[in-house]
Chain A
Amino acid sequence: MSTVTTKPAPVAAPPAAGPVLAGEGRIGLRGNLRHIGALARRNVLQIKQDPESMFDVVFMPVIFTLLFVFVFGGAIAGKGNQGEYVNYVVPGLMAMMGMNIAMGVGTGVNDDFKKGVMDRFRSMPIARSSVLIAKIVVELGRMMVAIAILLGMGFLLGLSIKSSVLDLLLSIGLAAVFGSSLMWIFILLGLTMKTPQAVQGMAMLVLMPLQFGSSIFAPTTTMPGWLQSFTDVNPLSNLADAARALINGTPLGNSVWITLAWSVGITLVTMPLAVRKFRQKT
């Protein structure tokens, strides 16, 4: 009683056997930008609905500046010289802020995947990477808010820009570039690990040595040689050094270039992996 037609009549002329027709139906740049815009709007609206998700951005810079300036400041720069330490640590904290916020992207992506809405996005005619890029755009916005608050706190505690505003903006830009390259790592983690908790745990494991084995909080000159060789290549040290040199008008050395090289390298390796993982996720 089968009513299934057995004639092998595909509903349209079937394309001749061959490779996947990658070119057909591609989405142009304008389309991609529109999609990224619509998805970024979604992420912003989510923040509006859940203002608590901005707590890290608002309070982390406040607490960290207070903590480091008053707990370590005296010990490192000498009692009463906390003001000098502000100019040392705030550029460093800028680097750290980027990393901490980048970490949140991983848990966010992981959480998103547990929701049905991801199925809808993935069954729509949009580039799958636009979902991830929109996320990064919004996280960069969050990072800017955190850096603005950090600088505000810095000025309250005596931060002075010894170079130009342009140099300050350059240092912020560098932090943003490095931060967005880190986001790809955490997106990849978020797509790979099973739960947001696992992502968090794994991220901390990566984060701690990078943060404290760096020049963010204290000059590396008192560290043992083996640690110094680590801090020298640690991208966070280089970013902190670069931001510090830009803000304080001291010699830059290679720190800017090393930071940029790290950013490009990390993005080139992890972005394709993350997008691939995202495509294959079922």
Chain B
Amino acid sequence: MVAMTRNDKNPNAVEVRGLVKHYGETKALDGVDLDVREGTVLGVLGPNGAGKTTLVRCLSTLIVPDAGTAFVAGFDVVRQPRQLRRTIGLTGQYASVDEKLSGWENLYMIGRLLDLSRKGARLRADELLERFSLTDAAKKAVMNYSGGMRRRLDLAASMIGSPAVLYLDEPTTGLDPRTRNEVWDEVQRMVAEGATVLLTTQYMEEAEQLASELTVIDKGRVIANGKVDELKARVGGRTLRIRPSDPADLPGMARSLAEAGLDGVAGSQAVPDEGALLVPILADEQLTAVVGLLAARGYGITDISTYLPSLDEVFLSITGQKPSAEDSVPAEKTEEVAA
């Protein structure tokens, strides 16, 4: 199904070059380049309005880009839309199943639309309902499903044709943490089975959980990309927040850590307003080392906590400024997810 040369170990399943889509003055996509290698998950991280959904819609042939090229499984999004549609599965931000139909009927319908025989479509529907733990709800109308069940059905619907490339557009936005974990489990299973996934998300933690490579976009432009670990190193992975007994110790503590080379790639940062020292760390051992060093130097500590960087902080460390969209996700929300 995937028409590409196999001599490369991981050929690109998705290849986007200079993709542009403008809506009047709004530059939804302003020259995006990215690659998704076969069998990997690329996370596309960005705030609301960064162009993530526009990107997915271009790659699903729902909209036609103004300029640039995009190939999916070797097919051109503009010139070979019909062949391309055979190779993709799409799970949007909003459940793309029919609310008035039962879960089973939805899957059966999609099977028939994908040219499965009646029997084939029946079997595939049963099989996927089973796999996504929806067998009990098979006959219920989707409008009576919970948010998590809907997303699972949506994932099942995208899997019917065993697509070469799967798009997940903010698959967990608006879900509670438990439901979000269910969806993550499913995605991880699909990835383990070799699916190629392009995942968009607003959450650093989600990208970290599911993706092997990341592309960070803002205002329709790529502002960073690389392996998740590399990017984490750049933005400091987790951050240790240390509150000394005496706020006057802050500069001394920061100096000690810097001398011992324990202040991470980005350097530690004293925040006198909070009376805290923020130390980016990459590994658990570093936490032990930091605490050990501070104890050895005789600094008193009243509180230690770690947190993942919020999207805002990722942007701050990459670009030196906050994300452009005024409605970007507030830091609290990301932290809450991380909690």
Query: What is the chain A residue whose CB lies nearest that of B23?
Result: A282
Contact with A along B74-98 (1 / 0, CB 8 A): 1110111011011010101111111
Q: Are B83 and A11 in contact (CB under 8 A)?
A: no
Q: Are B80 and A11 in contact (CB under 8 A)?
A: no
**Which chain B residues border A222 with CB–CB below 8 Å?**
none
Q: Are B100 and A10 in contact (CB under 8 A)?
A: no
Interface residues of B in 178-217 (CB under 8 A from A): 213
**Which chain B residues border A5 with CB–CB below 8 Å?**
12, 35
Chain A binder among B110-118, B123-131, B268-276:
B110-118
Contact with B along A271-282 (1 / 0, CB 8 A): 000000000001
Q: Are B100 and A50 in contact (CB under 8 A)?
A: yes
Asked if B138 CB lies within 8 Å of chain A CBs, one says no
Cα of A282 to Cα of B62 in the assembled complex, Å: 6
Chain A binder among B224-232, B296-304, B324-332:
B224-232
Query: What is the chain A residue whose CB lies nearest that of B213?
Result: A3
**Which chain B residues border A34 with CB–CB below 8 Å?**
112, 115
> Given A3-B213, A31-B115, A10–B74 Cβ distance below 8 Å?
yes
Q: Are A11 and B71 in contact (CB under 8 A)?
A: yes
**Which chain B residues border A15 with CB–CB below 8 Å?**
76, 79-80
> Given A11-B4, A34-B112, A25–B86 Cβ distance below 8 Å?
yes
Majority SS at the chain A contact face? loop
Q: Are B94 and A123 in contact (CB under 8 A)?
A: no
Cα of A180 to Cα of B112 in the assembled complex, Å: 25
Contact with A along B22-34 (1 / 0, CB 8 A): 0000000000011
Q: Are A49 and B101 in contact (CB under 8 A)?
A: yes
Cα of A202 to Cα of B79 in the assembled complex, Å: 37
Q: Are A123 and B88 in contact (CB under 8 A)?
A: yes
Q: Give the residue of B57, B100, B113, B234 whose beta carbon is less than 8 angstroms from that of A46.
A: B100
**Which chain A residues border B82 with CB–CB below 8 Å?**
24-27, 125
Taking residues whose C-beta sits less than 8 angstroms from the other chain, chain A's interface range is 35 or more
> Given A10-B74, A120-B110, A125-B114, A3–B226 Cβ distance below 8 Å?
yes
Interface size on B, residues (CB 8 A): 57
Q: Are A124 and B114 in contact (CB under 8 A)?
A: yes
Q: Are B71 and A10 in contact (CB under 8 A)?
A: yes
**Which chain B residues border A26 with CB–CB below 8 Å?**
82
Chain B binder among A37-45, A141-149, A232-240:
A37-45
Q: Are B98 and A117 in contact (CB under 8 A)?
A: yes
Asked if B60 CB lies within 8 Å of chain A CBs, one says yes
Interface residues of A in 3-35 (CB under 8 A from B): 3-5, 8-12, 14-15, 20-21, 24-27, 31, 34-35
Q: Give the residue of A9, A24, A31, A282 whose beta carbon is less than 8 angstroms from that of B63.
A: A282
Query: What is the chain A residue whose CB lies nearest that of B233?
Result: A1
Most buried by B among A34, A37, A39: A34
Q: Are A126 and B113 in contact (CB under 8 A)?
A: yes
Cα of A256 to Cα of B74 in the assembled complex, Å: 53
Asked if B282 CB lies within 8 Å of chain A CBs, one says no
Cα of A8 to Cα of B15 in the assembled complex, Å: 9
Q: Are A11 and B11 in contact (CB under 8 A)?
A: yes
Contact with B along A116-145 (1 / 0, CB 8 A): 110111111110000000000000000000
Q: Are A12 and B61 in contact (CB under 8 A)?
A: no
Q: Are A42 and B101 in contact (CB under 8 A)?
A: yes
Kindly provide the distance from the CB of A40 to the nearest chain B CB, expressed in whole angstroms: 10
Q: Are B90 and A119 in contact (CB under 8 A)?
A: yes
Cα of A186 to Cα of B34 in the assembled complex, Å: 42
Q: Are B73 and A11 in contact (CB under 8 A)?
A: yes
Q: List 13 A-B contacts (CB under 8 A).
A: A1-B230, A9-B15, A10-B15, A10-B69, A12-B3, A12-B75, A25-B83, A35-B112, A119-B62, A122-B62, A123-B62, A124-B114, A125-B82
**B positions within 8 Å CB-CB of A:** 2-5, 11-13, 15, 17, 33-35, 57, 60-63, 69, 71, 73-76, 78-80, 82-83, 85-86, 88, 90, 92-101, 105, 109-110, 112-115, 141, 157, 213, 225-227, 230, 234
**A positions within 8 Å CB-CB of B:** 1-5, 8-12, 14-15, 20-21, 24-27, 31, 34-35, 37-39, 41-42, 45-46, 49-50, 115-117, 119-126, 282
